[in-house]
């Protein structure tokens, strides 16, 4: 599909033009094969209105860096961009504030009902669902900078570190 779309165009001597055409062709083929990219929210308060404001802001930002603009056009587009940026920030801040207000009211009602299950679930959701990844088999460097992979050596590194933190003699370590 890509080869056919690219080969049917006459080859010119301008390398930059060829690269732009190849990039556009690959992009179109990707959209045809996979569908258009949709924005997804990492945060629950992002709405379609906010996505549209951010897209408009991004378009204006790209225009402000266009080399084909005159100085007068660049100034007017820059002013539009600043206003679009302010509007996107205002919408996002208002939506975030409203979301957390609703969540805090829900938490207060759950606390009044003494509903600990809801309280813990909402606290976990609001705090994020990121779990710390701790790889106990990961190699560590000792004080001399030598990588240790042996579990006993790693435990000794921890013991040396804690002895330094608590300013005590190194504890005796028997595995």
Q: Could you read off the pLDDT of 97-134 as tens digits, one per residue?
A: 999 899 889 988 988 998 888 888 888 877 765 666 66
CB-based contact 18:37 (threshold 8 Å): no
123: CB partners within 8 A, 6+ apart: 107
d(CA 26, CA 90): 37
What are φ and ψ of residue 140, in 5° steps?
-130, 155
pLDDT value for 130: 61
CB-based contact 143:153 (threshold 8 Å): no
pLDDT value for 53: 93
- Assess whether pLDDT exceeds 80 at residue 91: yes
**Rounded mean pLDDT of 41-56?**
86
- Axis-axis angle for helices 71-113, 116-127 (nearest 10): 160
* Confidence category of residue 79, pLDDT binned at 50, 70, 90: very high
pLDDT value for 137: 67
- Please give the mean pLDDT across all residues of the chain: 79
Percent of the chain with pLDDT over 90: 19
Verdict on whether the full-model pTM lies above 0.75: no
pLDDT value for 173: 56
């Amino acid at each position: 599909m890509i080869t056919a779309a690219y080969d049917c165009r006459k080859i010119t001597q301008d390398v930059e033009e060829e690269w732009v055409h190849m990039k556009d062709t690959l992009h179109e083929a990707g959209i045809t094969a996979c569908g258009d990219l949709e924005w997804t929210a990492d945060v629950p308060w992002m709405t379609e209105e906010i996505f549209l404001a951010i897209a408009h802001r991004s378009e204006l930002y790209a225009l402000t860096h266009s080399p084909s603009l005159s100085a007068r056009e660049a100034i007017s587009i820059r002013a539009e961009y600043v206003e679009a940026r302010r509007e996107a920030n205002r919408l996002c801040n208002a939506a975030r504030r409203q979301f957390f207000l609703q969540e805090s009211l829900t938490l207060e009602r759950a606390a009044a009902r003494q509903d600990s299950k809801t309280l813990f679930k909402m606290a976990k959701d609001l705090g994020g669902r990121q779990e710390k990844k701790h790889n106990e088999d990961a190699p560590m460097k000792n004080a001399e900078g030598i990588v240790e992979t042996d579990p006993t050596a790693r435990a000794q590194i921890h013991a040396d570190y804690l002895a330094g933190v608590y300013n005590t003699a190194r504890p005796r370590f028997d595995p």
